[in-house]
Amino acid sequence: PSSRTIRITREEDGGVYVAPSHPYNAKGSLATRSQTSYRGELRAVAHVVTHAIQPVEIVSDCQAVVRRFEQVLKAATRNSRPPPADAETDIWEVVEARVANAPPGFFTIRWMPSHLREKPDAARIAIAEGLVTQDDIDRNDEVDALARDGADAHRVPAEYRIIAKSRRRIAD
């Protein structure tokens, strides 16, 4: 089967972009108290690995998630367990189980620098070095837009954020 390249984002919410108007494009809130970019990125990876029906290459702009996923892939090829995850074990357990049960080579992952559209000099260098293509940059912009839409769907009202910050200062 042919391989699909899936772009995922490093926003507070997860976003998955395959192609324009593709049914597997996805966005969503983290639905948890832990609203970190790492968790959002990882949720996007989990979405890809739980919904993939053909081999996929995941392209991510979060180095920490890429490195951990590479450990998971390596462990799966040796039929062993990867080192324990430092954070977000609830999601990593889902990812690890799916990867362990997939055929070898079903999932691949590679890192790309983020926000290259905003850094034209860095983009030219990354393209010249073969790290990314213009298509990678375009798709990363699309997935960032999906993630922003997901984040906007559950914005916390400003007054609640102010109250929460005040409570943290009092507690410190």
User: pLDDT tens per residue, the chain (172 residues)?
Assistant: 344 554 443 334 556 666 667 766 666 554 554 567 788 788 889 989 999 999 999 998 889 999 999 999 999 988 888 888 877 888 999 999 999 999 999 999 999 988 888 898 999 999 999 988 998 888 887 777 776 666 666 566 677 667 767 776 776 6
Task: State the maximum Cα–Cα separation within the chain, in Å, rounded to a whole number.
Answer: 58
Alpha carbons 67 and 56: distance in angstroms, whole number: 17
Q: How wide is the angle at C-alpha 38 spanned by C-alphas 170 and 11, nearest 5°?
A: 95
Residue 108 and residue 59 in contact, taking contact as beta carbons nearer than 8 Å: no
Phi, psi of 103 (to 5 degrees): -65, 150
For the entire predicted model, the pTM comes to 0.70
Tokens of 149: 């839409």
Tokens of 112: 């790309």
